[in-house]
Amino acid sequence: MTVIPRQPMEQRSERMGALARLPVFFALSERRALVAGGSAAAAWKVELLLATGAHVAVYAQEIGEEMQAVIGVASPGTATWHARGWQAEDFTGAALAVGACDNEDDAAHFAAAARATGVPVNVIDKPDYCDFSFGSIVNRSPLVVGISTDGAAPVFAQAVRAKIEAVLPHGFAAWAAAARSWRARIKESGLSFAGRRKFWQLFAGLAIANPGRTPADDDLTSLIDNVGRLGPAADAGSVTLVGAGPGDPELLTLRAVRALQTADVILFDDLVSGEVLDFARREARKILVGKQGHGPSCKQSDVNDMMVSLARQGRHVVRLKGGDPLIFGRAGEEIEACRAANIPVEIVPGISAVQGAASRLGVSLTGRGKVRRLQLVTGHAANGQLPDDIDWRSIADGAATTAIYMPVKTLADFVTRAVAAGLDAEVPAVAIVNATRPTERRIVSTIGALSGDIVAAQLTGPVLVIVGKVLDAALSAQVYSDDVLVGAQR
């Protein structure tokens, strides 16, 4: 078999998609903000502005109880009520302006006056006159999350906020505050740029692991000491082998996401979906180094050399592989290359292709009382042919579930050899392509007929075959047409 050489290709990050609003965070401490109107809606905006440390001037002939209460508890001098309507000169020196306007004419007049003096304006509940919007807020200050639907679905934004509130520990506020207070001390610590970055990586890990604990100066000292003990290694690069899972980005592990978000360079395979790459740090270089079965491929030695070279330049290199990197992913060669070069290497396992496929089939691969073993085998050797060292007696064992990786080119020969060794040709089998992705397709058959069915269905993409009695109940319960189950139509 001739394999066409292929060169690594850098993939530029996609351009930012369209944004209804640019999410920005105003620094308003001790700056003047103008609010026109005394309604409850205006009072809530005053409360938000006061929370940022702004000095708020309220212009209204009358104010309601809510506004009176907000102004009444404000720190002296930070909230002032002017018992009159606003005037054009009131906008001078304001950082921003908020208006509670009763009708379109008032809204247009207020927005025009603000813009005439270069002041960003928000007219409550009238997005056509707004330069900015407030959105929903998750407050773990100085960690703040803002959510906006551009006024299209405020209730939906509130639902999203509630979901984030539920998963974002309140203790993160203390860790974010500690980070702010420690930043100057870190700069003065003598750590190199790479060392300071390592410090913040360790800090983030400590905060996430201990959200309910208040950070102390001992934590600062300990983290600096930990980085110091790394010595030159703190400035050296590293490699992380990351399993991208079978394709669905929601199957990424938290550690995989963390690795992607701290990577300087990502070397990824063809089987890695674009949705998975969306989790990567936007500034990271993304280089395709894929190896296509029976198609153009990057040499493994070139991939190893690039990985080591980038790490030696002090980069954090993520080697991103489909499924689990430790299952038919050539991870052993890459780990060996890193160790030979004295490059630190970490492995982040992923959801394997067979696990993803089984979850979609609704099948327990080790169904009690049916099988006693799960075995994973590759459908081709380095030369592209059927491996000559497969234990055919094991494959023929009716008490085993067998997952065959990359089997399409050799499946007919595989079945012939397995049946000759005693495998029942009528045992159920499934071929599943692009498991867990929207483009997922399946063929339900017997192992004896599956090879021909795959050819007839013209399956393309990464195919996995699962064989075994565990498929009986799950597959008999499914309704399908022509034995081909497609995505959500299965």
Domain ranges of the chain: 32-134, 172-233, 238-351, 354-489
Residue that wins the pLDDT comparison between 352 and 195: 352
Question: For residues 244 and 323, is the Cβ–Cβ distance under 8 A?
Answer: yes
Q: Select from 1, 84, 2, 3 the least CA-distant residue to 300.
A: 3
Establish whether 291 is a catalytic residue: yes
Out of 45, 126, 291, 321, the active site residue is 291
> What pLDDT score was predicted for residue 118?
96
Task: State the pLDDT at residue 483.
Answer: 41
- Can you give the pLDDT at residue 482? 41
Tell which residue, 426, 485, 478, has the closest CA to residue 459: 485
- Average pLDDT, integer, range 349-378: 90
pLDDT band per the 50, 70, 90 thresholds, residue 240? very high
Pairing of strands 484-486, 441-446: antiparallel
Question: Nearest Cα to 36, choosing from 151, 122, 115?
Answer: 122
**Domain at 354-489, CATH class:** alpha beta
Q: What is the CATH number of domain 32-134?
A: 3.40.50.720
Q: What is the pLDDT of residues 310-342, one digit of tens each?
A: 998 888 999 999 999 999 888 999 999 999 999
Our answer to whether residue 269 is catalytic in this structure is yes
Summarize the confidence of residues 251-255 as an average pLDDT: 92
Catalytic residue among 90, 248, 269, 324: 269
Residue-wise pLDDT tens digits, 195-236: 888 898 889 889 988 999 999 999 999 999 988 887 777 777
Is pLDDT of 476 > 90?
no
Burial of 253 (0-12, 13-18, 19+ CB in 10 A): middle
Whether pLDDT at 157 is above 60: yes
Confidence class for position 422, pLDDT limits 50, 70, 90: very high
Pick the CATH number of 238-351 from 3.30.300.180, 3.20.20.150, 3.40.1010.10, 3.40.50.720: 3.40.1010.10
d(CA 186, CA 183): 5
Residue 486's pLDDT is what?
Answer: 40
Range scoring the smallest mean pLDDT among 170-179, 386-395, 452-461: 452-461
Is the pLDDT confidence value at 279 over 70? yes
